[in-house]
Structure 1
Amino acid sequence: MNIIIAGCGKVGSTLAATLNEEGHDITLIDQRAEILEQVCNDIDVMGVVGNAGSYTIQEEAGVENADLFIAVTNYDELNLLCCVMAKKGRNLNTIARVRNPIYKREAGFIKDAIGLSMIINPEFTAAMEIARLLRFPSASKIDTFAKGKAELLQYVINADSPLINLQIAHLTKQVTTEFLICAIERGEEVIIPDGNAVLRENDKIYIVGTPENTTKLFRKIGAQRKPVKRTMIAGGSTIGYYLSKQLLEMGIETTIIEKNKERCEELSSLLPKANIVFADATEQDLLIEEGLDDADAFVSLTNMDEENIMLSMYAQNVTKDIKLITKVKRSTFDNIIDSLPLGSIISPKLITSYTIIRYVRSLQNSMGSNVETLYRIVNDKAEALEFKVCDNCKVINIPLIDLPTKDNLLICCINRNGKIIIPRGNDMLHPGDTVIVVTSNRGLDDIEDILK
């Protein structure tokens, strides 16, 4: 597809790089000539210098031949204007990043009035992901498939886990619950395992199953953590506001520590049931005074990565059995960050990028792709894809054990009329099924692409 991206900041450049790798034709628009030139040279895409809200600039970028226009500049109003101008009587798909909470309440109206394909709010999307992790604190990451009927969980095997040195086939026999370990991250290595794979300490394993069955699995292996009843949040940012609102609705006691007095007053008005503390979260004694050692979860959401990392490490040191969630904006030191005890790491930039990429994949459905859902997993080294199985497809009515699938690929879940099936060798795919595939191969657009 021909895709124009307005804004080459963190989200825009990440989007451009990923979509370019997937074979799309990308053109970036930005007013900052030096930054635009650097990004375009780094990822080998086209660039146009100028105000993306100008139709003349959009024409220079090739809007007349574009399939999709994505506006992710730092200004909500400019993003909306870009999309209005890009459509200009054309049936062009448009996506706008809109961050202001005021617009969040009117998102549906704005989307319909302007004719947007999608409004993406990074802070709200990040807050939803954090809330999902706090609902199931045993997992360090959760993605959903089949309209929420199936989950893909990431779990780190710690030093006292009964899974250490256990063969996957033996685990499956011991635990009668339906689940599948579909990927293992071991250091820099990515393993798409079979039943003979042996689990090791510090492995990050990816588990597919229904929410009910994954809960049973964690209970049976002694990995289920106590429910989160009290949460402490460092930083009263927009994400902190959205998250607190959701947690309070879930009945979870919430404390926000914010060092800006005006923001504290604003949060007190917006969240009357939350405990708002005017203080600097980096003051260690204060965290203890405000009940850190009694909290079930600690979420660091300040505007500085370094502060978030330090705060999470301190919280881990104070109380070992606490659910940690750490916001990290930059990805410069991914390997080092992954090795630190930071719990679940949240990156609004990546969440936004992957949400838009999933939409692009679904848009391709009308252009020959059958990808329903896509998640990047194992530090972006593998993909979990949900495909629609069509009539007359080459993979139907053949036992999975007889399908000549590509290496490093696993069929790990079948959704048949709302029933979730964890497949075995004799199961077969039927027309109308959706199927979840995990693979380290790239560029799969159709279920038949899983074949050699």
Structure 2
Amino acid sequence: MKIIILGAGRVGESVADSLVSERNDITVIDQDAERLRELQARYDLRGVVGNGIDPTVLADAGANDTDLLIACAAQDETNLVCCKVAKVMFNIPKLIARVRSSSLEKSEQLLGKEGFDVDRVICPEESLTRYIGKLIEFPEAMQVREFAGGRACIVAVRARGGAPMVGHRISALRLMAPDVAMRIVAIYRRFADEPDRFIYCDGATMVEPGDEVFVLSGREQIAQVLASFHRPSGQQARPVRRIMVAGGGKVALRLARQLTRQGNQHIKIIEVNPDRCVELASQVPSDVLVLQGDATDEDILSSESIENVDLFLALTSDDENNIMASLLAKRMGARRVLALINRRSYADLMHGTQIDIALSPAQAMLGELLAYVRQGDVQAVHSLRRGVAEALEIVARGDRKSSRVVGRKISEIHLPPEVTMGLIVRGLPDPTDPDAQHEQAEQEPQVILPRSHTVIESNDHVVFFLSNKRLVKDVEKLFRVSATYF
């Protein structure tokens, strides 16, 4: 696919990194020539210096035969105008715009055919807010990603000694919890003086304390799955009630509003800029406390009883400050800490150490973007392990004559060894078959653990885990419907 990316900032770089690795033809437009030279030195892409709303610049970037334009410059207006010019002047078929303004992202009239003609809006701040919200809902998880309209989830959990399912082989876990439909699809294990290493999972694999375990399961069983890997039997779950946020930016504001609507949380926001504190205090709900100060100051954390905080979130725009504030909060007694880290190399170093969760804002929204970029019936894509691995939901279409998978047993489907089929969700409404939608809506969808004898049916939503995202094309090709395949 030929893709133009407007903007070589943090979001643009993350998007380029992900799409280049999938062998797409990428061109990046930016007015910063030095920044483009850095990207060209690191990735196999082409850079064009200029303003993305200029038709001559778009033409130089190859807009005449481009399949997709992703406008993710810093300013909303630049992205929207670029999309409009791309549609009117070059008729680019797919247009995606990064929009940070909450009022703009929800305006169908402005973004539709009569307005800026944008096919899809992405908002990293909104994606990040939803992502953190899931971690608050499931406080024992390191990652929570949804599939099949939220009916199935993949979760990452740190295995702890003494938990019921830790210290056993995977084959034994099925016998220990026969009523829990779950599948361990990956384990990342710590080794001395080495980064975490991917461990291939089969029945003989042992779950060891300290492992980062990725599990697929139905949503209603996620809490039980997390508990079985993370805390001893009989120990009660501790919900997230007290939250402290370092940094009063857009994400902190969105998060405070979202959590206040849900209730039950006590939220404090620490912001170093006094003017921003005044602005923030006028926008957040009245029961959210806004404090002026530096979250790396030990005295401030101590005076605000950091030792009683269930979740500390470092959400400033400075990676180093987020790391230091999180390390300090953890040392002073915060139960769990999350640091927002833009640089992936930093996130890889800090994730799962003294910092429980190191989160890249661009990675939080990449799944939404990739699901739109992918071909075929891909419904959801989630980037895992800071972009190295991926979980993919794809819909089986056709019949035994036109499909390589429909009507066949799992044992007859040849997947690469690095690809794990984790779950099948059956019985969801099929938008391509209006006559069947009413009948399917009356039935409760099933979450199925695929076995060797399980037969794939048309409209099954199949969830895969890929330890290497370069294998995505192989999975997509396998599920592609062909009129000539027999």
TM-score by length of 1: 0.92
Q: Match of 2:458, SS? A: coil
1:259 to 272, 275, 285: 272
Question: How many angstroms apart in 2 are the aligned matches of 1:181 and 1:110?
Answer: 44
What is the aligned counterpart of 2:205 among 194, 197, 206? 197
Give the match for residue 368 of structure 2: 355
Q: Are the aligned partners of 1:181 and 1:193 in contact in 2 as well (CA < 8 Å)? A: yes
Q: Give structure 2 stretches of 5+ with no counterpart.
A: 191-195, 428-444, 481-486
Deviation at 1:46, TM superposition (A): 1.7
CA contact (8 A) 2:419 2:466 kept: yes
1:385 and 2:398 aligned: no
Q: CA deviation at 1:22?
A: 1.1
- Aligned with 1:153: secondary structure? strand
Partner of 2:28: 28
Query: Are 2:256 and 1:244 equivalent residues in the alignment?
Result: yes
2:210 matched to 1:212? no
1:180 corresponds, among 179, 183, 191, to 183
Aligned equivalents of 1:228 and 1:109: distance in 2? Answer: 39
Please give the secondary structure, in 2, of the residue aligned with 1:332: helix
Provide the secondary structure at the position in 1 that maps to 2:349: helix
Q: What is the CA-CA distance between 1:355 and the residue it aligns to?
A: 2.8
Is 1:438 aligned to 2:451, yes or no? Answer: no
How do residues 46-445 of structure 1 correspond to structure 2 at under 5 angstroms? 46-88=46-88, 90=91, 92-104=93-105, 106-112=106-112, 113-176=115-178, 177-187=180-190, 188-220=196-228, 223=231, 225-251=237-263, 252-271=265-284, 272-319=286-333, 322-338=335-351, 340-361=353-374, 364-365=375-376, 370-391=377-398, 392=400, 393-417=403-427, 418-441=445-468, 442-445=470-473
Output the CA distance in 2 between the equivalents of 1:92 and 1:398.
Answer: 35
C-alpha deviation, 1:131, in angstroms: 0.9
Measure how far apart 1:210 and its partner are. Answer: 1.2
Q: Which moved more, 1:344-353 or 1:213-222?
A: 213-222
Whole-angstrom CA distance in 1 between matches of 2:348 and 2:336: 21
Give the drift of 1:247: 0.9
SS in 1 for 2:344: coil
Displacement of 1:129: 0.6
Q: Distance in 2 between matches of 1:378 and 1:277?
A: 34
Indicate if the aligned counterparts of 1:385 and 1:437 stay in contact, CA closer than 8 A.
yes
Counterpart Cα distance in 2 of 1:450 and 1:407 = 17
The alignment partner of 2:294 has SS state of coil
| Contact persistence 2:421–2:464 (CA under 8 A) | yes
Alpha-carbon distance between aligned partners in 2 of 1:448 and 1:427, rounded to the nearest angstrom: 21
Q: Matched residues in 2 for 1:220 and 1:339: separation?
A: 19
In 1: Cα distance, 2:124 partner to 2:320 partner: 21
- Amino acid corresponding to residue 415 of structure 1 in structure 2: V
Alignment of 1:8-19 (within 5 A): 8-19=8-19
The aligned counterpart of 2:437 is none
List structure 1 runs of 4+ shifted beyond 6 angstroms. none
Q: Is the 8 A contact 1:130 1:325 kept in 2?
A: no
C-alpha distance after superposition, 1:342-382 (max 9, x if no partner): 12222112223343222211xx22xxxx3222222234332
In the alignment, the residues of structure 1 paired with residue 21 and residue 162 of structure 2 have an alpha-carbon distance, to the nearest angstrom, of 40
C-alpha spacing 1:413/1:55, structure 2 compared with 1 (3 Å): same
Shift of 1:25: 1.3
Question: What's the CA shift string for 1:283-320, capped at 9, x where partnerless?
Answer: 21222222322222111112221221122222222326
Compared with structure 1, are the counterparts of its residues 284 and 225 closer, same or farther at alpha carbon in structure 2 (3 Å cutoff)? farther
AA at the equivalent of 2:129: A
For 2:420 and 2:287, the matched residues in 1 are separated by 46
**Corresponding letter in the other structure for 1:169:** S
Per the alignment, in what secondary structure is the counterpart of residue 266 of structure 1?
Answer: helix
CA distance in 2, matches of 1:254, 1:220: 29
Separation in 2 of the partners of 1:63 and 1:402?
A: 43
Q: 1:86 to 1:444 in 2, by over 3 A?
A: same
d(CA) in 2 for partners of 1:225, 1:328: 28
Tell me, in whole angstroms, the C-alpha distance in 1 between the residues paired with 2:352 and 2:140.
18
Deviations 1:137-195 (A, max 9, x none): 11011111111110000011134544443101112211231111111112442234112
Looking at structure 2, the residues matched to 196 and 340 of structure 1 have their Cα atoms a distance apart, in angstroms, of: 27
**With structure 2 as the length reference, what TM-score do the two structures score?**
0.86
CA distance in 1, matches of 2:456, 2:142: 31
For 2:272, give the aligned amino acid: K
Cα distance change of structure 1 residues 209 and 348 upon mapping to structure 2, 3 Å threshold: same
Alpha-carbon shift at residue 65 of structure 1 (Å): 0.9
Once the two structures are TM-superposed, the CA of residue 222 in structure 1 deviates from its matched residue by: 5.8
Gaps of 5+ in 1: none
Which amino acid in the other structure matches residue 99 of structure 1? R
- 1:69-108 CA-to-partner distances (Å, cap 9, x unmatched) read 111112221111111111116263111112234535x443
Whole-Å separation in 2 of the counterparts to 1:10 and 1:410: 31
Distance 1:38 1:85, change over 3 A: same
What letter matches 2:391 in structure 1? A
**In the alignment, residue 205 of structure 2 is paired with which amino acid?**
A
CA contact 2:160–2:229 (8 Å) conserved in 1: no
Distance 2:16 2:407 in 1: 39
CA contact (8 A) 1:27 1:48 kept: yes
CA distance in 2, matches of 1:250, 1:292: 23
- Higher mean alpha-carbon deviation, 378-387 vs 64-73, is at 378-387
